Amino acid sequence: DEVIKITNELPSYAEVEAILDLCGAPKSPAQLGITEEETKNAFIMTKDIRAKYVVSRFLWDIGEEENAVNALF
């Protein structure tokens, strides 16, 4: 119940995107000069450098990391 309440209070993707546009902030790794390959590698490496159980670790554990990376990037 608490989590649902909090997520309902979050701005939508479109609202966040509009705020970033208004500020002139980058919205993608490419806009920061980060290549797609670097982005993929960063995602893959998060499972090894984070002390928390993150999505990339879960995907690794169930054998779906490569599929997810290919779908995302």
**In Å, how far are 13, 21, 22, 44 from 17, measured between CA atoms?**
6, 6, 9, 25
Mean pLDDT by runs of 10 across the 73 residues of the chain is: 90 95 96 95 88 89 94 88
What pTM was computed for the model?
A: 0.66
Distance, in Å, from the CA atom of 18 to the CA atom of 29, rounded to the nearest integer, reads 17
Please give the pLDDT value at position 52. 84
The predicted structure's pLDDT at residue 73 = 85
- Count the Cβ atoms, other than its own, within 10 Å of residue 39: 17
